Amino acid sequence: MSEEPEDGRVHYRRHRARPIDAPPAAVWPWLVQMGYDRGGWYAIDVLEKAFGVGRFATGWSARRVEPDLQDLAVGDRMPLTATRWLDVTVMDAPHELELVMPPGLLTWTWRFTLEPLEPHSQHAHGRTLLGITTELSVRARSVPARLAARVAFAAFDLGHGLMEAVQLRTLARRIPAA
C-alpha cells in the first residue's frame, strides 16, 4: 500500500481488476463518459453525492452508454467536483485511460486498463479484464508528516477502495446487459 519515502514523499499504489463479459470496445465508452456532471463513477451514488463528486448528467450514474458524453481527448479535463478535475493524460482506445490530478501538494494518477481475455463459449463476443490502478504521492519529510500521510492513505484505501470495488462490480453488471 504505502512505501517509505526515498524522495521525501510517501507513496500509495493499489491495483484492482475484474473480468467483464464484454470485449474492450464495449467497455471503453463507459469509461469515457465518467465524471462529475457526466456519467458518474458507477459506485455508490448516494455517497458520491454526499462527498460532492456525484452530480450526474443522467440523474444517477449512467445505466447505458450516453452518446452525448463520448467526446473526450488527451488534454481534456474530466470533472471530479464542481471545482476540481483530473486531466486526461493517456487515451489509447480501447486499452488505457489515464487521469491525473493537476500538480499540487498531492499527486494522483488513476489508470484504467482493458485487457482482452480469451472468450469462453458463453461469451463468444469476448471478455475484458478491467484494471484500475490508483497511485498517490505526497511530500512528507518529517516523521510526523510521514505518519500522517500513511494514516491518510490507509483511510483513503478503505473508502476509495470500497468505491472502486463497487465501481468494478457495477460495470461488470451493466455492460453485458447494455
Q: Does some domain include residue 46?
A: no
Report how many domains make up the chain: 1
Q: What is the pLDDT of residues 91-123, one digit of tens each?
A: 999 999 999 999 888 999 999 999 999 766 565
Residue 165 lies in a domain: yes
What are the tens digits of pLDDT across the range 25-42? 999 999 999 999 999 899
Is 64 part of a structural domain of the chain?
no
Residue 153 lies in domain: 2-31+77-177
pLDDT level of residue 177 (50, 70, 90 thresholds): low
Among 95, 103, 98, 57, smallest CA distance to 75 is for: 98
Composition of the chain by helix, strand, coil, percent to 5: 30, 35, 35
Locate 166 and state its grid cell: 463497487
Domain membership flag for residue 60? no
For residue 158, being part of any structural domain is answered with yes
- pTM, to two decimals: 0.88
- Give the single-character DSSP code of 35: B
Whether residue 71 is contained in a domain is answered as no
The CATH code of the domain that includes 21 is: 3.30.530
Of the pLDDT bands very low, low, confident and very high (cuts 50, 70, 90), residue 86 is: very high
